[in-house]
Amino acid sequence: MLTRKQLALLDFIREYMAKEGIGPSFDEMRDALDLKSKSGVHRLVSGLEERGYLRRLPHRARAMEICKLPEAMERAEFKPRVIAGGKPEQPRTARPVDTGGAIEVAVMGRIAAGTPIEAISTLSHHVSVPGSMLSVNGQHYALEVKGDSMIELGINDGDIVVIREQITAENGDIVVALVEDQEATLKRFRRRNGMIALEAANPAYETRVLRDDQVKVQGRLVGLIRSY
């Protein structure tokens, strides 16, 4: 199963080759997917190659071949999946954010719960958070969730997660992880045999296993806010 970024890249390559007769450059792929660096493109292309969807031809610049397409794309009906349904059930422990001594916390952009997105650290706005959600010691910030990789833990696209700043994590913690100083993602943290595993809570997403020096913990999830 391909990630959304891999699907988007494969679709871009298909359209580009149909129009230009040659594969796009890494710079063009980076710009098309709004990635910060070409290293992200390399990872996506390598993922497509490993899954048999794409093959790069040796010794030829910008030469690549699409080996197969997902069934939906082959029918030219590929569309982002939309799950229809009513308003989600409100958790029993939920409470209005304007009670319990609300404190203003800065929302510092978006965090990916899915394929990692470019790390964002620009103040967006502020949100009111119950004081009991915050630790007495430590700094906190909030992020808007983008994606559905943590949906089985009740973290949905569009939710606001409250994060306590810290650079360490225990196995099982849900953390903001900065991958190779470029991409930020919200995942469950586990240390395995000297490596770090970033686990999703959605079977559609694979666990990423990285070297210790490739991952920097930016904070731990301490609360979640949802609008109904």
Is the CA virtual torsion 202, 50, 110, 176 positive or negative?
positive
Res. 209 pLDDT band, cuts 50 70 90: very high
Residues 47 and 116 reside in one and the same domain? no
Q: Does residue 108 register a pLDDT over 50?
A: yes
DSSP 28-74: HHHHHTT-SSHHHHHHHHHHHHHTTSEEEPTTSTT-EEE----HHHH
Instruction: Identify the residue with better confidence: 28 or 130.
Output: 28
Q: Does residue 111 register a pLDDT over 60?
A: yes
Rounded Cα gap, residues 42 and 30, in angstroms:
9
In a domain, 45, yes or no: yes
Instruction: Identify the residue with better confidence: 120 or 19.
Output: 19
pLDDT of res. 35: 85
Specify the pairing of strand 102-112 against strand 140-146.
parallel
Instruction: Identify the residue with better confidence: 73 or 177.
Output: 177
User: Residues 155-159: what's their mean pLDDT?
Assistant: 88
Rounded Cα gap, residues 91 and 88, in angstroms:
9
Percentage helix, strand, coil for the chain under 3-state DSSP, each rounded to 5 = 20, 30, 45
Number of domains in the chain: 2
**Over the stretch 62-80, which tens digit does the pLDDT of each residue have?**
778 888 887 656 544 434 3
Helix-helix angle 38-50:4-20, to 10 degrees: 90
Is 216 an active-site residue? Answer: no
Report field, pTM of the whole predicted structure over 0.95 = no
User: Residues 103-121: what's their mean pLDDT?
Assistant: 65
Mean pLDDT in the chain? Answer: 78
Residues 140 and 206 reside in one and the same domain? yes
Question: Which amino acid, residue 206?
Answer: E
Residues 123 and 217 reside in one and the same domain? yes
User: Residues 123-151: what's their mean pLDDT?
Assistant: 79
Residues 114 and 11 reside in one and the same domain? no
Residues 132 and 50 reside in one and the same domain? no
**Boundaries of domain holding 203:** 102-225
Residues 119 and 185 reside in one and the same domain? yes
Q: Which residue of the set 132, 146, 149, 227 is catalytic?
A: 149
Is 46 an active-site residue? Answer: no
- Poorest-pLDDT segment among 12-26, 40-54, 130-144: 130-144
In a domain, 80, yes or no: no
Q: Which residue of the set 46, 135, 187, 227 is catalytic?
A: 187
**Over the stretch 32-44, which tens digit does the pLDDT of each residue have?**
888 888 888 888 8
Question: In 3-state terms, what secondary structure has residue 83?
Answer: coil
Res. 181 pLDDT band, cuts 50 70 90: confident
**CATH at 206:** 2.10.109.10
In a domain, 97, yes or no: no
